[in-house]
Amino acid sequence: MTRKTLSIEINGQVRAAEVDPRLTLADLLRHEFDLTGTHLGCEHGVCGACTVLLDGRSVRSCLMFAVQADGKKVTTVEGLGGDANGLSVLQRAFREHHALQCGFCTPGMLATLTELLIDNPDPTEGEVREVITGNLCRCTGYAGIVSAALDAARRIRAGEI
């Protein structure tokens, strides 16, 4: 199979690779670039654990070929951080509201909710719950995740970075 050369900006850094056309974006991130914060659960688009941002929009990295991201910007959980501890407001809110237990769903949840808070900085609880219907969590019961998202939205609107 002819290998393809691609160049992707990942978490602000341009990365190049030569890959098989059938390689998924998730496998590129995890195996070529060691960005193992992107998790793989179902590997067929159901669980949301592999969600990353592609040009600012959430995508299932298990359902995309790496070559489809050529020339685009990808943000993984490793690139979401903002403060001196490397955590965004949303990540800090997750920690404070006990929005994670095993953490397997967390990178995907954070990507999905980061997109929501950019699109809609003042979401209702219903809007938060609706947007995470595509991200499965087996541990938390979702209550902490919803509180964290609503609290992060309040704090971002108040100017916290």
| 60 near ligand FES, rule: CB under 6 A | yes
Reported in sequence order, the residue ranges of 20-152 that DSSP labels E, i.e. its strands, are 51-54, 57-60, 73-75
What Rg do the C-alpha atoms of the chain give, in angstroms?
A: 16
Q: Which of these ranges, 10-18, 42-50, 67-75, 83-91, lies near ligand FES under the rule CB under 6 A?
A: 42-50
| 29 near ligand FES, rule: CB under 6 A | no
If 0-12 CB within 10 Å is exposed, 13-18 middle and 19+ buried, where does residue 34 land?
exposed
How distant, in Å, are the alpha carbons of 57, 117, 131 from that of 124? Answer: 20, 11, 11
**Total site size for ligand FES, rule CB under 6 A:** 22
| 148 near ligand FES, rule: CB under 6 A | no
57/157 with CB nearer ligand FES = 57
State in angstroms the smallest separation of the CB of 25 from ligand FES. 10
Tokens 């397997």, residue located: 104
State in angstroms the smallest separation of the CB of 149 from ligand FES. 14
| 62 near ligand FES, rule: CB under 6 A | yes
| 95 near ligand FES, rule: CB under 6 A | no
CA distance 129 to 80: 21
Residues interacting with ligand FES, by CB under 6 A? 40-43, 45-50, 60, 62, 100-105, 137-140
